[in-house]
Amino acid sequence: MTKRREKESILVVDDSAPTLEVLQRNLSADGYKVFTAPNVASAVALLESNKVDLVITDLKMPKIGGMDLVRHVRENFRDTEVMMITGYPSIEGAVEAIKTGAEEYLAKPFTDEELSAAVQRALNKLRVRRCGEPQRAHSPAMRHGLMGESEAMRRILRAVGKAASTSAVVLISGESGTGKELVARAIHYGGERSSAPFVPVNCGGIPDGLLESELFGHVKGAFTGATESRAGFFHTADGGTIFLDEVSETSASMQVKLLRVLQDKEVCMVGSSRPRKVDVRILAATNKDLLALVTKGAFRKDLFYRLNVITIALPPLRERGDDILLLANHFAQRYAAELGRPQPRFSEQAMAVLKNYDWPGNVRELENVVQRLVLMTDGEIIHVPDLPPLMRFSALTRTGLDRTLAEVEAEYVSNVLASVGGNKTRAAEILGIDRKTLREKLRLSAPASEQPPLS
Ligand SMILES: Nc1ncnc2c1ncn2[C@@H]1O[C@H](COP(=O)(O)OP(=O)(O)OP(=O)(O)O)[C@@H](O)[C@H]1O
Ligand SMILES: [Mg+2]
């Protein structure tokens, strides 16, 4: 059933040899064919003679910088995606990169997971573009890159479709790893703004003092070190969408500023008193209960109501029933294909454990678990002992298989008694014991508080 995909190829361009090496190792381990180039000139030469699906380039390099390469690829290789890597102080470079046509950017330092997620997103876009139709052609259960057939997910997909057809502010809530960013992307790419930038901003990850100038930009001389004017994320996202992730993490003064943007649709660069109109759709996400924060006085009520025009509340994975298995198989297929291995199947019991587990890290946790299983399991079938111990243990407790005989008996006796309206004679008959034994069992199983005091 598994169709093995031809290896996708990635060209990594960076003037630092250690960085090139790390990227090459990680990407090869993810199953990609990797080319490397220490500068833009060799990258351009490599592009001439090799088919490259994705170019990952550093921004700052001596002589010719990454931005020029982005432009070159955009103008000459329509069938190649570009991703920019940028250091923290040069976030304005990322802003430029997106404008110039880099599909994704990755801020340093990044984890292996962030790299692999960004690469997958960039390549996914390429696949969708090549097919000339959305990804659903590959799988009936996948819409907007979101997989799920449970009623809860169908509702989410309908909400995403509706949200995509408007320009309203959307507040996306849900536990960590439930797919909030994926939903935000689906709304952006499913709507009229899809050809303009989607700019995600992790409000919790940028120090408070920096966030304002990152979002709104600053003018020359606005603060020490501001030697030049710089555009902010809101300018970059002009015509497109800004995604304010972890919006609950913004400071009180930042909340006032965001409220102003939402009300007046204009932003004021740090150090300037002249507001400028922007045409940016705002999507926000939170894994906290914003309303509870409002009640506690930790989040502005007026901002909450401005953000909460359309709400999409993502259900935790444990409430999505068979979607757990659907997603597990989907990830198994994806990682097996990337590793060039046959897709493993889950045994009946393993599926039961997956379904019964709590998934505190939601889809992200499931994805990581399956990725590890595909890597570590040699057989064609994944059995219960292959699963992480914690998961097996918790599945056991949730299915009640960790109870003693006495506990099970006590519960059964009390259920029978309840079913006959507390009639002990009838209950004893059904249980096949005499009334005295029943009384004894009831005495033993009663909670300590209900037992007569010991004298
Ligand atoms: N319905 C889904 N179908 C397929 N993949 C999904 C789905 N939901 C989430 N994922 C995948 O799970 C991972 C986590 O999703 P995402 O980053 O959107 O979650 P999040 O809610 O923003 O998490 P966090 O709160 O930790 O930022 C991603 O790799 C994403 O592609
Ligand atoms: Mg997120």
pTM, two decimals, is: 0.63
> What is the pLDDT at residue 248?
96
Q: E-assigned strands of 33-72?
A: 33-37, 54-58
Per CATH, the number for 1-133 is 3.40.50.2300
CA of 363 to the centre of ligand 1 (A): 6
> What is the pLDDT at residue 32?
93
Q: Are the C-beta atoms of 66 and 40 separated by less than 8 Å?
A: yes
CA of 364 to the centre of ligand 1 (A): 6
Ligand lying nearest the CA atom of residue 145: 1
- Beta bridge mates, 313: 173
- Beta bridge mates, 143: 146
Ligand lying nearest the CA atom of residue 184: 1
> What is the pLDDT at residue 330?
92
Q: What is the pLDDT along the chain (455 residues), one digit of tens a residue?
A: 344 456 899 999 999 898 899 999 999 998 999 999 999 888 988 887 788 999 999 888 887 788 888 888 877 777 888 888 877 555 566 666 666 666 677 877 788 888 988 898 888 878 777 765 444 334 445 667 789 989 999 999 999 999 999 999 999 999 999 999 999 999 998 888 888 889 999 999 998 888 999 999 999 988 888 898 889 999 999 999 999 999 999 999 999 999 999 999 999 999 999 999 999 999 999 999 999 999 999 999 999 999 999 999 999 999 999 999 999 999 999 898 888 888 899 998 899 999 989 999 999 999 999 999 999 888 889 998 899 888 877 666 655 566 678 877 888 888 888 878 889 999 999 899 999 999 998 888 776 555 555 44
Tell me the C-alpha to C-alpha distance, in Å, between residue 144 and each of 61, 135, 141, 187, 271: 36, 7, 10, 8, 40
| Atom from ligand 1 closest to the CA of residue 182 | 18
Measuring from each residue's beta carbon to the nearest atom of ligand 1, which residues come in under 6 Å? 117, 146-148, 174, 176-182, 287, 327, 363-364, 367
Q: Into which CATH architecture does domain 321-398 fall?
A: Orthogonal Bundle (1.10)
Q: What's the full length of the chain, in residues?
A: 455
Specify the DSSP class assigned to residue 195: T
Pocket test for ligand 1, best of 203, 248, 320, 364 (most atoms within 8 A of CB): 364
Strand pairing category for 276-277 and 266-267: antiparallel
Ligand lying nearest the CA atom of residue 244: 2
Does CATH place domain 405-450 in 1.10.10.60?
yes
CA of 203 to the centre of ligand 2 (A): 11
Domain boundaries, the chain: 1-133, 138-315, 321-398, 405-450
Note the pLDDT tens digit of each residue in 93-136: 666 666 666 667 787 778 888 898 889 888 887 877 776 544 43
Ligand 1 atom 18 nearest Cα: 179
Ligand 1 atom 10 nearest Cα: 179
| Atom from ligand 1 closest to the CA of residue 117 | 29
Ligand lying nearest the CA atom of residue 200: 2
| Atom from ligand 1 closest to the CA of residue 287 | 25
Distance separating alpha carbons of residues 140 and 166, to the nearest angstrom: 25
Specify the DSSP class assigned to residue 401: T
Distance separating alpha carbons of residues 12 and 23, to the nearest angstrom: 7
- At the top level of CATH, the class of 138-315 is alpha beta
> What is the pLDDT at residue 201?
95
Going by C-alpha positions, the residue among 228, 220, 233 that lies closest to residue 278 is 233
Q: Do domains 1-133 and 405-450 have the same CATH topology?
A: no
